[in-house]
Structure 1
């Protein structure tokens, strides 16, 4: 009986730490991790409640993302209101369930996973790759739910393609395109991240016995084929010795 009660309590805690957006599960955290940031989930009492960012990889090529505009519902409004406890400067959102016109949020998700994998394996991210190989349970933020101003929502609606880009000052931006032409950029680092999805890395070994990132998958998905969720320590040490 006690065991069942403990399991039920944990399930309630987990449910309070997640929300559904367009039938996909997003994690709610007190922090606001940027899309593409790398770090580790912090666990307290068996429940994930924060994401500690360790680094931001350099992007020399644009990474295609998908964007959806989603109207608020009671649950999302509750989540947004709870975020205000940790950010006094958070803009107020007026939500009335009975009114047809509701506030909107935006989900931004990495679409070009292969392009992101190539960036992480590139020489300009060798320090990031080293960190990932030597740090366990490291994840990357692959989707965020974020609030934007009405002006920014209009710009998003007018565009037909979206990319995660790196500016000269190392900021991450969402670059908007229309009919193949750049129309605008949006700085997402200044926005309120309501919720996020994180993914883990799957590793494979090259013919030169070097480990590289082969794939990025949802954190609750197993790595497929011959790929591994971590770089085996013994194999790694042996490879370094052979070099």
Structure 2
């Protein structure tokens, strides 16, 4: 009887470990450039909740930076060396034209109203991504790169050289390995309407005339008048 009970306990433990192993191997898809949502990182995990994307009527300029990842040689034992892994190239893509982004948000009543409901939403303003060599070469050859909206709820990268379009790249063609977000700074314009004044990196301060909370802007407005 005791032997059967022992086997049962061991079986349960092994099953639990296998289940845990399977769970930890599940990879989360990271958000694309221009996505808006809740992105929080905690000690024991993350809370990523993409809500919507920027709705843009005009192309938004993007800055590209190439990052070379050199694989170190690993020494196994004396006078022996493991075959080094092949170097890889990552690129960071960052929204450069913040003024265009602010204008697009402020002229979109639906999006503006949604963002005013909570100060938890962030804009994915930079991504680090890997692409196949053929696509990477197109990106590096382009003189300018723009974020465009080619279909509803879909943002793409438009490549330009010599003032003409030379190609288009989808984020789904690469693998996003990390991202950074920006926060919205709110203020009141000359018409006493609450709008986005600025977009700043997460953790940065807003200017003296703007705040990260719409509630504070409303309180300041009541105090003034």
Same fold, TM-score > 0.5, yes or no:
yes
- Give the number of the structure whose alpha-carbon radius of gyration is greater: 2
1:121 to 2:121 alignment: no
Residues 74 and 200 of structure 1: is their aligned pair in 2 closer, same or farther, counting only changes over 3 Å?
farther
Which sections of structure 1, spanning at least 5 residues, go unmatched?
A: 1-28, 76-95
Alignment partner, residue 211 of structure 1: 194
Whole-angstrom CA distance in 2 between matches of 1:207 and 1:112: 23
TM-score of the superposed pair, with normalisation by structure 1: 0.70
Give the one of 57, 60, 64 matched to 1:63: 60
Give the one of 39, 45, 58 matched to 2:37: 39
TM-score of the superposed pair, with normalisation by structure 2: 0.75
Shift of 1:199: 0.5
Whole-angstrom CA distance in 2 between matches of 1:227 and 1:112: 19
Alignment partner, residue 13 of structure 2: none
Shift of 1:42: 3.4
Alignment partner, residue 51 of structure 1: 48
Shift of 1:200: 0.1
Whole-angstrom CA distance in 2 between matches of 1:234 and 1:153: 44
Q: Give the secondary-structure state (helix, strand or coil) at the position aligned to 1:167.
A: strand
Which sections of structure 2, spanning at least 5 residues, go unmatched?
A: 1-26, 73-81
- Does the 8 A contact of 1:198 with 1:218 survive in 2? yes
Deviations 1:178-224 (A, max 9, x none): 11110000001443210001000001102322100010001110101
Whole-angstrom CA distance in 2 between matches of 1:182 and 1:191: 20
- Does the 8 A contact of 1:142 with 1:197 survive in 2? yes
Shift of 1:49: 2.3
Shift of 1:50: 3.9
Whole-angstrom CA distance in 2 between matches of 1:143 and 1:48: 21
Q: Which runs of structure 1 show a deviation greater than 4 angstroms over 4 or more consecutive aligned residues? A: 96-99
Give the one of 110, 131, 148 matched to 1:165: 148
Aligned length: 188
1:225 to 2:208 alignment: yes
Residues 98 and 214 of structure 1: is their aligned pair in 2 closer, same or farther, counting only changes over 3 Å?
same
Whole-angstrom CA distance in 1 between matches of 2:177 and 2:152: 25
1:102-181 correspondence runs (5 A): 102-122=87-107, 125-181=108-164
Q: Give the secondary-structure state (helix, strand or coil) at the position aligned to 2:151.
A: coil
Whole-angstrom CA distance in 1 between matches of 2:156 and 2:217: 39
Whole-angstrom CA distance in 2 between matches of 1:97 and 1:68: 29
